[in-house]
Amino acid sequence: MPENKNIEILDKNKYKNFTAEDLLNNSFFLKSIKTPTELSEAFWKETVDEGFIEKKEIDLAKSLLLALSLRKKSLKTNELDSLRKKIDKNNNTNKKIKIIIRITAAAAACILLFVSIHTFFLKEEPTSPSITDVASLFKTNDLGKEIKLKRGAEPIISISDQDANIEINQHGELRINSKAIEETAPVSKENNIEYNELIVPNGKRSTLSLPDGSKLWVNAGSRIVFPATFKGNKREIFLNGEIYIEVYPDKSKPFIVNTSKMDIQVLGTSFNITAYEEDEEQSVVLVTGSVNISTDNQFKKELCPNERFSLTGDKTEIRTVDPGNYIAWKDGWYISESEDFGRLLDRLGRYYGKKVIYNENVSQLKCSGRLNLRDNFVDLLKGLEKTLPITYSEKDYYIEIQMSNNKLLPMK
């Protein structure tokens, strides 16, 4: 049961006609952006849908937080007014930079607004927000049911296929499953930063070829934020999920993968990253080359081929592994070696887009073997029933796994 003060905070009437300034001075709004929850996201959506707050005011407040890194301080009235005037003046003198708040897709509007504001401040200040900040602004707890590509000022592209092959060449030209996609928004020649986002929900997969020549295999339940073009002296992306990546070598521009807990820097190599924010463990498995890993708890290490680095809480571990076992998912296989059955079920549920329920006894079973991910999930579970002391039952919205009296046998 929530406390009385929380009930008061979640009263939509309290926020009626709030402006961006009001939101930036409201502790609950600031906390909602910094650490969003399903409750807070639903609340702010309802305030817009029910007409308590104009959507453009929330978009402006979010963009200012990102562009100016103001999550820990408030804007005064005269500062916000001055900022608005500067942006308006800049837009009038440079017609290539526009603030657009009339787009129906909330995420797309937020991207456009950020691009315009950030472009202006690049001329005023040398400091730009990190890609982690950008990813935080775009963050959503609902990945939906279709693969989505949000590409700067372009309309959001939804892909209903089970798998998507996405290619963006050095000229910014886009192809999806070998089909060219024409741009509808004008391409800016200014030195601004425009960000893209790829969302791959549970039960789907994708590949992504970047303009620099690097290629990513993106597993189910993943989100990647990356710039439209890699400018400056580095190539940087943000990941929440799992990818196998082959980085195109460029000594002048190291490639950096950011997650919520660590940064992985490379020049040209291939490796697997598992970094789902909802999971306790994040890991890196190096296939070829070398990578430098830095974590939030100040741990730094250079990884060698056939090594697996894992971070669980503040605990780090490096051990020698067969990397083929950890990248087999991209070719439709799942290989486990004495793995907790609960972890395997979690990963299978994410891969197939099914919710799986089980108890602690089921979770602690150990399993080893090779599973064909091209099989139907139910057929796969039938096979597991024959090799493990478990039984499954299909419910309306989930699959339940329970212990049975079958003899425990190793997986084949």
Tokens linked to 107: 């995420």
371-389 core/surface letters (b: 16 or more CB in 10 A; e: else): bebeeebeebbebbeebbb
User: What is the model's pLDDT at position 77?
Assistant: 52
Closest CA to 73 of 81, 64, 82: 64
Tokens linked to 70: 């103001």
Tokens linked to 187: 């391409």
Note whether 222 and 243 are within 8 A (CB): yes
User: What is the model's pLDDT at position 78?
Assistant: 53
CATH 2.60.120.1440 domain position(s) in the chain = 130-331
Closest CA to 275 of 329, 238, 321, 314: 238
Note whether 277 and 308 are within 8 A (CB): no
Pairing mode of beta strands 222-227, 179-181: unpaired
Note whether 286 and 257 are within 8 A (CB): no
Q: Provide the greatest CA pair distance for the chain.
A: 77
Closest CA to 310 of 350, 261, 266, 344: 261
Q: What is the pLDDT along the chain (412 residues), one digit of tens a residue?
A: 344 344 344 678 888 888 887 887 788 888 887 777 778 888 888 888 888 898 888 877 776 666 544 333 344 455 455 555 544 544 443 333 333 222 223 333 333 344 434 443 444 444 466 888 788 777 777 788 999 999 877 788 999 998 999 999 988 889 999 999 887 665 554 556 788 999 999 999 999 999 999 999 999 999 999 998 898 889 999 999 999 999 999 989 999 999 999 999 998 899 999 999 999 999 999 999 999 999 987 889 999 999 999 999 889 999 999 999 999 999 999 999 889 999 999 999 999 999 999 999 999 999 899 999 999 999 999 999 888 999 999 988 899 999 986 544 444 3
User: What is the model's pLDDT at position 85?
Assistant: 53
Region of 332 on the Ramachandran plot (φ > 0 left; ψ -120 to 50 alpha; else beta): left
**Half-sphere exposure (Cβ direction) of 234: Cα atoms closer than 13 Å:** 12
Instruction: Give Cβ neighbours of residue 344 (< 8 Å, ≥ 6 apart).
Output: 334, 336, 367
Assigned fold of 130-331: Jelly Rolls (2.60.120)
CATH 3.55.50.30 domain position(s) in the chain = 333-403
pTM value is: 0.70
Pairing mode of beta strands 174-176, 179-181: antiparallel
User: What is the model's pLDDT at position 59?
Assistant: 77
Assigned fold of 333-403: Phage tail protein beta-alpha-beta fold (3.55.50)
> CA-CA distance, 346 to 327, in Å (whole number)?
17
Measured in degrees and rounded to the nearest 5, phi and psi for residue 322 equal: -90, 105
Q: Name residue 404's amino acid.
A: S
Note whether 215 and 207 are within 8 A (CB): yes
> CA-CA distance, 251 to 270, in Å (whole number)?
15
User: What is the model's pLDDT at position 134?
Assistant: 82
Note whether 312 and 280 are within 8 A (CB): yes
118 CB-contact burial (10 Å; exposed 0-12 / middle 13-18 / buried 19+): buried
**Half-sphere exposure (Cβ direction) of 62: Cα atoms closer than 13 Å:** 30
